[in-house]
Structure 1
Amino acid sequence: MRTLYIAGDSTAAQKYADAAPETGWGMALPFFLHRDVAVANHAVNGRSTKSFLDEGRLDTVLTAIRPGDVLLIQFGHNDQKITDPTRYTEPWTSYQDNLRRYVAGARERGALPVLATSVERRKFDAGGTALRTLGDYPAAMRAVAREESVDLLDVQELSLALWQKLGPETTKTYFNWTPTEQDNTHFNPPGAIAVARLVAAELLRTGVLAPRDTRRLDDEIPAGWITWPDADPEETGP
């Protein structure tokens, strides 16, 4: 069995019952992959390329990863946090340097690194045009992908096009809008499923995965397939 590891932030991360209906797209990705491709979702809320490294999380992934596995790397939202030195990176220097560490670590272990630009937030101008919110980070990642000959999933552009197609009102049904919260960054089940579908289709398009590795790319996936475990093992301990 081949394993696809996800290193990323809250947009991809596993969510638990206390956060429902918030849903990371990594929770929905297995719906689009054959059972012979396992998903190991190491994405964690609030992490940047820097904090994920500093906390030893990349080391944990690289200890487990095996030749032939895939390491999907998606960061940017929290690298933007210029007032937080534990997370902030400058897009054209430290951010790129960190991405190269992820790429090199995967390759040293015979695994395939894949870079994915960050999924766009829900933001529209007064005329209903979906806006980019991620600064230079997607462009900086694209440059690393070119320079290092790494497969790139351009999730930013694909998600921006999807939000534009859906429009300001319909996109509210994809993001974590609840009676008490208007969250334009994180997803509910339909949004996570939609983004996971984009990711799976890009994995197929780039040749990272073969047609036999994917499924249901054109099928409707019920939101009820998403479930939330009771508790985060990192929080509860052994």
Structure 2
Amino acid sequence: MNFKKLILISGVVFFCHQLRAQSIDYKFDFGPGKAAKNHIKILPTTSFSNNKKYGFDFDSKVEGIDRGGKNLLNADLVRSNKPFYFSVAVPEGNYSVTLTLGDAKESSLTTVKAESRRLMLEDVKTKPGQHVVKSFIVNVKNKNIKDGRVVGLKTRELTKLDWDDKLTLEFDHQTALAGLEIAKVEDQITVFLAGNSTVVNQENEPWASWGQMIPRFFKPGVAIANHAESGLTLGSFQGSRRLDKILSIAKPGDYLFIEFGHNDQKEKGVNDGAYKSYTERMKTFVSEFKKIGGIPVIVTSTSRRSFGADGKTQNTLGDYPDAARKVAKEEKVALIDLNVMTAKLYDALGEEKSKKAFVHYPANSYPDQDKPLADNTHFNPYGAYEIAKCVVLGIKAQQLGIAKYIVNDFPNFDPSKPDDPSVWKWPESPNSSLIKPDGN
């Protein structure tokens, strides 16, 4: 064998080894019975740790049940009427998650959140004896940039599930979990989100943002990678190397949704302003993402809850929504006018009822809360869910390529006819916080 051929074969072997090293494919069978073929048995006592890279997390308590039967995957399961967590240590990337839910003898109801309370599945019901299989995509990120730099995380981000080294799933309601598969996938369109506290994955109740609700409205084929953070402007997002991080991992055909304005309007430098630094920076985001073959989408800022004497939502964002619209027109990119849609949403609810979309809660609604919460910028889960619907409506209206991946149960939504907040239900996660997110 000549030297060149030997080098070629060695290179192929090394490449294949690298592919195998990057391949992640877990199959778990839950419950005390015999494990299904090629599945890892997960007992109620299987806990995540530094030594065991998968298991129940955060002191979760579940009951193991063995119903018997020929289908080993469905024969046994774990159940709980309280929230529980399951984590798997994985590297950065997009992951296909497939769940087998149901119980041979009892009904079940399941809502699934991933990482920092991203809504993935909503109210999946099974009857006694029924099992359903549901799949979704979870993006896992880290702070490392390929050139050796790192994202400049805020102190509050250092403990967030969004930035740790594992994929965590939260199961709510009355979950009956029989099986779980997690596999790394490379064929997803990734939608990156750049924004502030109205977009970020809020980790604690009762805070929420549209960026953490929107995964629920997409089928496999699209992964939502939320890089937003509370308190940020276009400038501080870029300055903390978050745009660099996105550009380092995005691929041609991916999307970048850009929503800023609330915090930018507080910048008072000589070169600051809607038609100055804000416009210039937004054009930079657009042009840099276009350079890698990506598709930028500009999203105008959500309206604040502020009603005028005429009983209608008034603009508190100055020229910033208009500046964003102009950039979209000049740069010939899609625009989702969330500023207009959220105003319609609040007007439809009315001045008093619109509080139901924001963090407005009487004292003692949450542990150690001795004073009322009254925030007219930041949303609760209901408000975030309705605004995510507005974004999905915008995706359809703009005829973006990812529209074909919107779930089949998404009806035609009209912000002027929002869901009734008294009927809409949300299973709260265990952790809550009284600390207001950065920014206003």
Same fold (TM over 0.5): yes
Q: For residue 56 of structure 1, what is the amino acid of its counterpart?
A: R
Indicate how the Cα distance of structure 1 residues 174 and 209 shifts in structure 2: closer, same or farther if over 3 A, else same.
farther
Q: For residue 9 of structure 1, what is the amino acid of its counterpart?
A: N
1:1-238 to 2 correspondences below 5 Å: 1-17=188-204, 20-82=205-267, 89-179=272-362, 180-215=372-407, 216-218=409-411, 223-224=425-426, 227=429
Q: For residue 318 of structure 2, what is the amino acid of its counterpart?
A: G
Does the residue aligned with 1:40 lie in a helix, a strand or coil?
strand
Does the residue aligned with 1:162 lie in a helix, a strand or coil?
helix
Does the residue aligned with 2:232 lie in a helix, a strand or coil?
coil
Aligned residue number for residue 437 of structure 2: none
C-alpha distance after superposition, 1:162-213 (max 9, x if no partner): 1111111111000111222110001001100000000011011102235421
Query: Do 1:115 and 1:151's aligned partners in 2 also have CA atoms closer than 8 Å?
Result: yes
Query: Do 1:33 and 1:200's aligned partners in 2 also have CA atoms closer than 8 Å?
Result: no
Gaps of 5+ in 1: 232-238
Q: State TM-score, norm by structure 2.
A: 0.49
Indicate how the Cα distance of structure 1 residues 211 and 55 shifts in structure 2: closer, same or farther if over 3 A, else same.
closer
Per the TM alignment, residue 128 of structure 1 is displaced from its structure 2 partner at its CA by 1.5
Larger Rg: 2
Per the TM alignment, residue 61 of structure 1 is displaced from its structure 2 partner at its CA by 1.0
Aligned residue number for residue 236 of structure 1: none
Per the TM alignment, residue 145 of structure 1 is displaced from its structure 2 partner at its CA by 0.6
CA distance in 2, matches of 1:161, 1:130: 8
CA distance in 1, matches of 2:376, 2:401: 30
Q: Which has the higher strand share?
A: 2
Q: State TM-score, norm by structure 1.
A: 0.88
Q: Which has the higher helix share?
A: 1
Structure 1 stretch displaced more, 90-99 or 218-227:
218-227
Q: Percent identity?
A: 36
Indicate how the Cα distance of structure 1 residues 103 and 226 shifts in structure 2: closer, same or farther if over 3 A, else same.
farther
CA distance in 2, matches of 1:212, 1:160: 27
Aligned residue number for residue 91 of structure 2: none
Q: CA RMSD in A?
A: 2.2
Gaps of 5+ in 2: 1-187, 363-371, 414-418, 434-440
CA distance in 1, matches of 2:280, 2:189: 28
Q: Which has the higher contact order (CA 8 A, sep 6+)?
A: 1
Query: Do 1:16 and 1:228's aligned partners in 2 also have CA atoms closer than 8 Å?
Result: no
Query: Do 2:234 and 2:264's aligned partners in 1 also have CA atoms closer than 8 Å?
Result: yes
